Amino acid sequence: MKFIALMLPFIALSLFAEDFAGKNSMNGISFKNYKNFNKKWKLVVVRYRKDTEELRFTYANPLAYKTLLANSVHFPEGSAFGKIGVKTNPDPLFESSVVPSGARRYQLMIKNNKFKNEHGWGYGLFDENGKTFPGNPQEQVQACSACHEAAESRGFVFSQLMDNLDLKKNHGITKLNFKLIERESLPKNIQELIPPVFKFLKLLDEKMAKYAFEGTLEEVRPFLSLEVLKSKMPALLLNERKDMYSIVVPENLGSRCQDGLKNGIYMKSIYSQLNSKNENKTLHYCYTY
């Protein structure tokens, strides 16, 4: 009987995660209503994630685009943004280039005052088929909202028009909070991922940890990388249950590197993958500054 009682929470958690996978809507946002946003809305900005080799195309509907053009942060009701994460492959015609090779995921951000707990913005995350991901959708929404709080002074919107980008300024982006912790205070399996030479590291704030889900681990890597660059020590996001984590470590004690004409330091990113037999994913990259 004890065995059955112990297993019930794990069974319930598994069923809960499966129940929310493969749905057409999330957080009251139906993907079908926005399916062709990339054909109807204006392109705002394109970003390339070197660490994941992914292109990010962000679009804005007329209301949101008009607000961006006016350099305003007061987005009216009905404003909407859509993002497409696209896989890339080497360009067969130009060896130094990459080309898009199909959507990886879609993200929607809709301004509606009914989303009071998320500062008036509703978030929806969908896979390449327009279906929801496994897991608790409310935790996913809260994780999105917690991250976008870094852009509170900009109406909780990160994206800027390409013509207005100034890479030397953060334009009101608030720094995320990190605290200094001892390596030995971490669970043993995580300690083993951090070189013993580092006795201390930086831990991302508790709010992000509270609502972290698997998709957060990849999205938060740029923030962790920036903290590593500043502090010269590892940076970590660890969820409350301590079963999901994203770690960035300065590789070779922060050896210098170059990416194109920019200087940087070598970094290694490690994050957990709950859907891959609990194996970690590791990336090596040159983080430029």
pLDDT score of 15: 40
The matching CATH number, chosen from 3.90.1150.180, 3.50.70.20, 3.40.1280.10, 3.90.950.20, for 14-164 is 3.50.70.20
How much of the chain, in percent, has pLDDT values that exceed 70?
Answer: 86
Work out the widest C-alpha separation in the chain, in whole angstroms. Answer: 65
What is the chain's mean pLDDT, rounded? 85
For position 182, what pLDDT does the model report? 97
Res. 137: pLDDT tops 70 = yes
Q: Is the pLDDT of residue 8 over 50?
A: no
Q: How far is CA 262 from CA 107, 108, 141, 265, in A?
A: 30, 33, 35, 10
Closest CA to 145 of 180, 109, 170, 176: 109
Dump pLDDT digits (tens) for 255-283: 888 877 788 899 999 989 765 556 788 98
Domain range summary for the chain, segments of one domain joined by +: 14-164, 178-288
Q: Is the pLDDT of residue 32 over 80?
A: yes
Could you read off the pLDDT of 40-69 as tens digits, one per residue?
999 999 988 876 788 999 999 999 999 999
Q: Is the pLDDT of residue 29 over 80?
A: yes
How many angstroms separate the Cα of 65 from the Cα of each of 71, 78, 85, 199? 10, 12, 20, 47
User: Tens digit of pLDDT for each residue in 205-245?
Assistant: 877 777 777 778 888 888 899 999 999 999 999 988 888 89
What local confidence, expressed as pLDDT, does residue 213 receive?
Answer: 77
pLDDT score of 3 more than 80: no
**CB-based contact 221:204 (threshold 8 Å):** no
Cα(136)–Cα(212) distance, integer angstroms: 10
Between 273 and 75, where is the model more confident? Answer: 75
Instruction: Give the per-residue pLDDT at 70.
Output: 94
pLDDT at 254: 65
- Cα angle for residues 142, 145, 151 (degrees, 5° grid): 160
pLDDT at 249: 96
Mean pLDDT, residues 179-187 taken together: 96
CB-based contacts of 50, cutoff 8 Å, min separation 6 = 259, 285, 286
pLDDT score, position 11: 39
pLDDT at residue 174 in the model: 63
Rounded distance, CA 203 to CA 244, Å?
Answer: 13
**CA 118, CA 121: separation in Å to the nearest integer?**
6
Q: Which residue has the higher pLDDT, 8 or 206?
A: 206
What pLDDT shows up at residue 50?
74
